[in-house]
Structure 1
Amino acid sequence: MSDQKLEDSADSSLNCGRATDFKTKMNLTARQIRDTEHIFQEWEGGPFSHLTRLTIPQQSAHGFKFSANGHLFESLLSVKVYCDSLTGISGSNLDQDPIVADLVTAGRIGFAGKYGTHIVTPGQICIRDTKASWEFDCAPATRVRVVTIPRHLLFSRMRSTKVLNQAYVSDISAPEVRFLLNFLEAIEKTSDDLDLSISAQNIALDACATLFSGMLSERAELGLQEHPNATLKAAKNVIEKNLDRHDLSPAMVAQTVGVSLRTLHRSFSASNDSIMAFARRRRLQKAHGELVRLGGKASVSEIAARWHFADASHFIRHFKSVYGTTPTAYLRNYGATGSEN
């Protein structure tokens, strides 16, 4: 079967008739997957050209579907993608390889690179420099918002490009991520205006580059590359910022820092500590400060729940082990009253 026949039968097309319109679609049968070479040849030289060694797993007995719809202008691509099971390499060690953000809304994408492994699940975003090659594994029926931007646009905005060695992984709930998504939605709503104005396109591109560099620069501020205890320092910074979150966990911290879970555990072990022991101590200190500040205005149970202790008895036990007495007795010594229930 020739590539042309595949293109016709697979309903695969690329339409960039307008500067801001982008659409591509692929619908392959299991036989086409098995019998045809160079399935992704049409991607060469396009916005997905940083993806190489693409392979559709043999177990895709029901075929393969891929679609991308969105906008492309001035090398900024923003598309919503549906992709069945696919593996490959993202990045070819070329200067023209872009910075790519993947916001997963369904399914899963795994990335493995020199500096870490990340599993990006629904509600998470991963930003990475594709000049540093990443192996990826896309689960069946994955839906993802993909944004690509030329890497050179970020260089002048960052104090250190070493931070690009690490991937930035965060939840969609993070304020900076929500701001980025709102910005992308604004671009889509004004695509007609952008199509008519090169100046507007340049402004949008510059704003997007500023957003990306700002998000990535937070990693640089943690001193991730320069400090000898960089991983430990970065992890503690992440824990400090998320003490009030009920889903704070070693896995969440590892993903945010951009290291493997094993590396994170090893960093804490080297300091004779553990991830959750550190988080518990800091939560206890926060709870102690709140207890003293509020006095009898808040019950011990309320404070224990706010700082994610299992229950009041667990909180009282940990409090006594550190401060030598129960919270109520502690407050009494400060001339305040409280209740352990």
Structure 2
Amino acid sequence: MEDRFGRFWRGWEEQLGKELPAPDFTPGSAGDFQMSARAVTVHDSVIADVRGESLYGSYTSASHQSDEQVVLHMVRHNSWRFARPREGDRTVPAGHFMVQRLGPPTFEEARQTSATVLIVPASSLTHLVRDRLIAGPASSAEMLLLRGHLDLVSQRAHDLSPAGALTARNATIELVKGVLRQRADSTEPHLGPALAQAAKDLADNRLTDPDLSPSTLARELNVSLRTLQRAFAAVDESIAGYIRRSRLEQARLELLAPSGRPSVSELAAQWQFADSSHFIRAFTRRYGLTPAEFARAAAGDRSARGG
């Protein structure tokens, strides 16, 4: 087991350096450790995709870590069990999260589990976390904002300037505060990209829904429509424009099908355009060809390639 944790620690250090050490692990009575992580740093914070066959033991702050940290687990598959003497046991299933302050030893058990793990400085969060284990659903409006932000930052972390990384880290901490307070602080201007990303994620899952609108997205995210509109303005796009563009792209992909391709009227109905004429006009403005012309061009390309 020590060799396995040693390999994990060395891999962590190769990705993040010695400035952000992995928490210390002590095996339990049935100690086991088969975990891996892909992680990025954002100023003095860590976002990690953690996957593992098995974990059984206790975590605490790294012995050479001087600053306190708060850790948030968002479980994606199976479950992760946490236990502290005063807090009792908490089993966090997929689709839920756990927030804790590193320091007090926490027993953890996970089998065939994957999670997104966020590690941030505790200084501005200690009064909200204290020594509690705080769990909740990852589907809350506050968590949707945080998840969208972390996805965005993870993708761009290596391209951020030092100033950009600091801004992203500060936004992350504000969003964690929103989770802990069960509300998002929509007055923070640097949270705009995270809010827009969360709305896009929601919209992408509901593109065929006739009730999808800017207002419904704002309600689900627990912010005003004006706040959501400002967030999209910060990324140079309108909410309605994003929905329309995403629906057109899905229709375009269906037109590429070599067989069983829907008709124009079927596509218009499926992707919530008022009628075929409206769909054709929108598609032509977007792609420079009518749907029929696009489908014929795609078929010609397949024939030329011998497909």
Normalised TM-score (structure 1): 0.45
Question: Which residue in 2 is equivalent to 1:144?
Answer: 115
Q: Percent identity?
A: 20
Is 1:96 matched with 2:67? Answer: yes
| 8 Å Cα contact 1:79/1:146 also seen in 2 | yes
Question: Which residue in 2 is equivalent to 1:235?
Answer: none
**Aligned runs of 1:19-168 on 2, under 5 Å?**
21-22=15-16, 46-49=20-23, 51-55=24-28, 57=30, 65-92=34-61, 96-113=67-84, 114-139=86-111, 141-155=112-126, 161=127, 163-168=129-134
For 1:193 and 1:131, locate their aligned partners in 2 and report how far apart those are by CA, in whole Å.
Answer: 32
**146 and 11 in structure 1: CA distance in 2 versus 1, 3 angstrom threshold:** closer
**Aligned runs of 1:169-318 on 2, under 5 Å?**
169-194=135-160, 197-218=161-182
- 2:69 aligned partner, one-letter code: P
For 1:15 and 1:47, locate their aligned partners in 2 and report how far apart those are by CA, in whole Å.
Answer: 8
For 1:208 and 1:15, locate their aligned partners in 2 and report how far apart those are by CA, in whole Å.
Answer: 21
- SS of corresponding position for 1:85: strand
- 2:81 aligned partner, one-letter code: G
For residues 305-331 of structure 1, the C-alpha deviation after alignment (integer angstroms, 9 at most, x for no partner) is xxxxxxxxxxxxxxxxxxxxxxxxxxx
**Aligned runs of 1:315-334 on 2, under 5 Å?**
none
For 1:104 and 1:6, locate their aligned partners in 2 and report how far apart those are by CA, in whole Å.
Answer: 21
For 1:6 and 1:56, locate their aligned partners in 2 and report how far apart those are by CA, in whole Å.
Answer: 16
For residues 88-129 of structure 1, the C-alpha deviation after alignment (integer angstroms, 9 at most, x for no partner) is 223259862310011111122111122342101111111111
- SS of corresponding position for 2:130: helix
Q: What is the Cα deviation at residue 6 of structure 1? A: 10
Runs (5+) with no aligned partner, structure 2: 184-307
Q: What is the Cα deviation at residue 171 of structure 1? A: 1.3
**11 and 101 in structure 1: CA distance in 2 versus 1, 3 angstrom threshold:** closer
For 1:95 and 1:116, locate their aligned partners in 2 and report how far apart those are by CA, in whole Å.
Answer: 27
Normalised TM-score (structure 2): 0.50
User: Which residue, 14, 17, 26 being the options, matches 2:11?
Assistant: 14
Count of residues paired in the alignment = 179
For 2:9 and 2:180, locate their aligned partners in 1 and report how far apart those are by CA, in whole Å.
Answer: 35
- 2:136 aligned partner, one-letter code: S
- 2:35 aligned partner, one-letter code: F
- SS of corresponding position for 1:173: coil
